[in-house]
A and B are shown apart, each in its own frame.
Chain A
Amino acid sequence: MKKIIFAFAVLACALSFSACNKKVEAGEFTVEKGKFKVGMEIGYPPMEYYDADGKTPVGFDIELGKAVSAKLGLEVEFVDTAWDGIFAGLETQKYDVVMSAATITPERLQSMEFSKPYVGNGQTIVVKSDSGFKPASPKDLEGKIVAYQAETTSDIFMEKQAQAGLKFTPAEFDKVINAYDELKLGRCDAVVSDALVYANYANDPAFTSTWVGEADEFFGVAIRKGNSVLLEKVNAALDEMIADGTMKALYLKVFGSDLSDTIK
């Protein structure tokens, strides 16, 4: 009798163990089974921002997150987080990926994986249309007050200009919206931002973009290091979307122009 009980116990253990194993396997590539959690700093139009109601996230990364999760057969969930520390949250498994206009850089590739680029971007100089100031290149910003978002590629770009000898007064804001506010209120001479971000302000007659740099940075989906299963799946989904025209439709919907060439 004891032997039979023992045999059952062993069997039960083995079963529960394998069941357990199976669960890990199925949920292996996402933090929560059946869910695709996307970390983003919502406040960076037109990539990710809140709609007029103040609670519905909209923008290119939201559309992309929905499309990718549909291809993966998972339910999408957007996690709003501060840009400072967004990659630490990826590491501590608060979400599966970061889709937040994150530029693929060699430094970042050391501590995380990136999907293939889904859109290319450069920097642009924006001024007030009625100011008469028309900078034709970053050199024309000499002696001016320049607003931009802190700890972004615009920040890195201006830091490089400063190292190259450009003298200007920086105004670093936490939100890119505040940099544009500053320009609108006439408290700075120019804004340097992502060309993609400017797409959101292009309809406002108060702003004019006078210089656009070459697309020299590429946005990718950041994935936790070692999660190669999810990396492969996301890359396959992006390839599919480019091939079947989903991506082109998303570009047209959000930016008003086809940006397919930027990632070729």
Chain B
Amino acid sequence: MTSLQKIIGWIPALLEGAKITILLTLTSVAAGIVIGLFLSLGKMSKKQILKKLCGAYIFFFRGTPLLMQLYFLYFGLPKIFPMLTLRSKFLAAFIAFSLNSGAYMAEYIRAAIQSIDKGQKEASHALGFNYWQTMGLIIVPQSIRRLIPSIGNEFIMILKDASLVSLIALEDITKVTRSIASSSGNELVYIPAMILYLIITAVFSVVFNRTEKKFSVYE
């Protein structure tokens, strides 16, 4: 069998892995944006307790390795609190990745919001808008375009960090690749696997670039 035939033979298994990788990345980044939005608003809040709490959350999740967070959530926590035993590996990975991504996203969102000219906020206050109206109708929509490159960046980071899930026996692209490499003894499998990662990255880069252009009409 030629190398090319071998590579073609591995593709279905790699695509199965890609499903897990893509699904985990998309859901985690989406949840991360929601968590990050509230965390960033909390961190910019005038209420000291809220500010400190959100700051501590961001400090913890950015300051410890994602690998360790995932491992602790899946193996450590259930040993201390049996009721926190997560039966689904995907759910465990999703929770760990979203919580982690939320911390990074919070800082991106805060930077984007704070980059909006102060006059916008003052003007909306002058027009009688309250805090949620100012944020929801004036500030956040304007900061979205500035946020898109950061989200794209976070997306690519999570896409590659998703390879950590092999630790909890979830079959993503990396896990499938390693299994094929060691059972067939053929390291050639890394080539289609890396190409697959590049294709996913390329597709999402195009999507993010288009979205950015679409939103830049407001600038």
Point out residues on A near B: beta carbons under 8 Å.
84, 107, 147, 150-151, 155, 159, 171-174, 178, 181-182, 185-187
Closest B-chain residue to A179, C-beta based?
A: B169
Q: Say yes or no: B179 contacts A178, CB within 8 Å.
A: no
Please classify the interface of chain B as helix (H, G, I), strand (E, B), loop, or mixed, using the class held by over half of its residues. Answer: helix
Please classify how large the interface on chain B is, using the bins under 10, 10 to 19, 20 to 34, 35 or more: 10 to 19
CB-based contact B79/A185 at 8 Å: yes
Residues in B with CB closer than 8 Å to A174 are: 166-167
Question: Are B75's CB and A178's CB within 8 A?
Answer: yes
B167 touches A181 (CB 8 A): no
Closest to B169 in A: A171
CB contacts (< 8 Å) of B167 on chain A: these are 173-174, 178
Q: What's the Cα separation between A123 and B3 when bound, in Å? A: 34
B51 contacts the other chain (Cβ, under 8 Å)? no
- Give Cα A107–Cα B182 distance, bound, in whole angstroms: 12
Chain A interface, >50% SS class: mixed
- Cβ contacts under 8 Å, B182 to chain A: 84, 150-151
Contact of B85 among A151, A172, A186 (CB under 8 A): A186
Q: Which of B75, B166, B169 touches A147 (beta carbons < 8 Å)?
A: B169
- State whether the Cβ of B121 lies closer than 8 Å to any Cβ in chain A: no
Given A147-B169, A181-B75, residue A187 in contact with residue B183 (CB < 8 A): no
Would you give 9 A-B contacts (Cβ < 8 Å), ordered by A?
A: A147-B169, A150-B169, A150-B182, A171-B89, A173-B168, A178-B169, A181-B79, A182-B169, A185-B82
Residues of B contacting A150 in the complex (Cβ-Cβ under 8 angstroms): 169, 178-179, 182
User: Nearest Cβ in chain A — how far from B140, in angstroms?
Assistant: 40
Inter-chain pairs besides A150-B178, A159-B183, A182-B169, 20 sampled, C-beta below 8 Å: A84-B178, A107-B185, A150-B169, A150-B179, A151-B179, A151-B182, A155-B183, A172-B169, A172-B175, A173-B168, A173-B169, A174-B166, A178-B75, A178-B167, A178-B168, A181-B75, A185-B75, A185-B78, A185-B85, A186-B85
Q: Is B87 an interface residue when CB atoms closer than 8 A count as contact?
A: yes
**Nearest Cβ on chain A to B18's Cβ, whole angstroms:** 18
Distance from A183 Cβ to chain B, minimum over Cβ atoms (Å): 12
The residues in B between 77 and 94 inclusive whose CB is less than 8 angstroms from any CB of A are 78-79, 82, 85, 87, 89
Residues of B within 8 A of A181 (CB): 75, 79
Contacting residues, chain A, for B183 (C-beta < 8 A)? 151, 155, 159
Mark each residue of chain B from 1 to 37: 1 if its CB lies under 8 Å from any CB of chain A, else 0: 0000000000000000000000000000000000000
What are the residues of chain A within 8 A of B78 when measuring CB–CB? Answer: 185
Q: Which residues of A contact B87 (CB under 8 A)?
A: 187
The distance in angstroms between the C-alpha atoms of A182 and B78, with both chains bound, is 10
- In the complex, what residue of chain B is closest to A107 when comparing beta carbons? B185
Instruction: Write out the residue numbers on chain A whose beta carbons fall within 8 Å of the beta carbon of B89.
Output: 171
Residues of A within 8 A of B82 (CB): 185
Q: Hey, which chain A residues are within 8 Å of B185, CB to CB?
A: 107
* B-chain residues with CB within 8 Å of residue A84 when the two chains form the complex: 178, 182
Closest beta carbon of chain A to B141's beta carbon, Å = 44
A187 touches B179 (CB 8 A): no
* Chain A: CB-nearest residue to B92: A187
Q: How far is the CB of B16 from chain A (nearest CB, A)?
A: 13
Residues of B within 8 A of A187 (CB): 85, 87
- Interface code B177-216, partner A: CB below 8 Å = 1, 0 otherwise? 0110011010000000000000000000000000000000
Q: How far is the CB of B108 from chain A (nearest CB, A)?
A: 32
